[in-house]
Structure 1
Amino acid sequence: MEEEIELIIDSAEEGMQNAIAHLRKQLLNIRAGKASPSMLGSVMVEYYGSQTPLNQVANVNAPDARTISIQPFEKGTIPNIEKGILLANLGFNPMNNGESVIISVPPLTEERRKQLVKQAKGEAEDAKIGVRNDRKTANNELKKAEVSEDLQKNAEAEVQELTDKYIAKIEEILEAKEKEIMTI
Structure 2
Amino acid sequence: MSAEDTLLETDDAMQKAVEYLLHEFSAVRTGKATPALIENIDVFVRAYNSVMKLKGLAIITTPDARMLEVKAFDPSTTQDIERAIRESKLGLNPAAAGSSLRIPIPELSEERRRDMVKLVKQLAEEAKVRIRAARKEGIDSGKKLKASNLLTEDGQKDLEEEIQEYTNKYVKEIDSHTAHKEAELMKV
8 Å CA contact 1:31–1:39 kept in 2: the answer is yes
Q: Which residue identity is paired with 1:21?
A: E
Match for residue 32 of structure 1 among 30, 53, 72: 30
Q: Which residue among 171, 177, 184 is the counterpart of 2:181?
A: 177
Question: Which residue is equivalent to 1:20?
Answer: 18
User: Which residue is equivalent to 1:143?
Assistant: 143
- Counterpart AA for 1:70: V
Q: Render the CA deviation track for 1:77-117: whole Å, top value 9, x for unaligned.
A: 43333233223353111112224211111011111111111
Q: 2:168 aligns with which of 144, 161, 164?
A: 164
What is the CA–CA distance in structure 1 between the aligned matches of 2:11 and 2:119, rounded to whole Å? Answer: 26
Query: 1:1-184 alignment to 2 at 5 Å?
Result: 4-40=2-38, 41-44=40-43, 46=45, 48-51=47-50, 52-144=52-144, 145=146, 146=149, 147-184=151-188
| Cα distance in 1 for residues equivalent to 2:36 and 2:20 | 15
Q: What residue identity is the alignment partner of 2:181? A: K
TM-score, length basis structure 1: 0.88
CA gap of 1:134–1:55, structure 2 versus 1, over 3 A, is closer
Post-superposition offset of 1:120 = 0.6
Bigger mean CA deviation after superposition, 118-127 or 79-88: 79-88
The question of whether the paired residues in 2 share the 8 Å contact of 1:95 and 1:102 is answered with yes
Q: CA deviation at 1:43?
A: 4.2
Summarize deviations over 1:11-30 as a string: whole Å, max 9, x none: 11111112112211221221
Structure 2 unaligned regions, length at least 5: none
- Between the aligned partners of 2:103 and 2:156, the Cα distance in structure 1 is 57
Pairwise CA distance, 1:67: 0.3
- Which secondary structure state, in structure 1, belongs to the residue aligned with residue 45 of structure 2? strand
2: CA distance between counterparts of 1:68 and 1:76? 20
Q: Using the alignment, how far apart are the partners of 2:171 and 2:3 within structure 1?
A: 22
Does the 8 A contact of 1:44 with 1:84 survive in 2? yes
Which of 92-101 and 50-59 deviates more?
Answer: 50-59
Q: Indicate if the aligned counterparts of 2:41 and 2:85 stay in contact, CA closer than 8 A.
A: no
Q: CA deviation at 1:143?
A: 2.3
Q: CA deviation at 1:170?
A: 0.7
AA in 2 matched with 1:148: T
Determine if contact 2:58/2:73 at 8 Å carries over to the other structure: yes
Cα RMSD (Å):
1.9
Gaps in structure 1 of 5+ consecutive residues: none
2:41–2:84 CA contact under 8 A, matched in 1? no
Using the alignment, how far apart are the partners of 1:54 and 1:65 within structure 2? 20
Give the match's secondary structure for 1:102: strand
TM-score, normalised on structure 2?
0.86
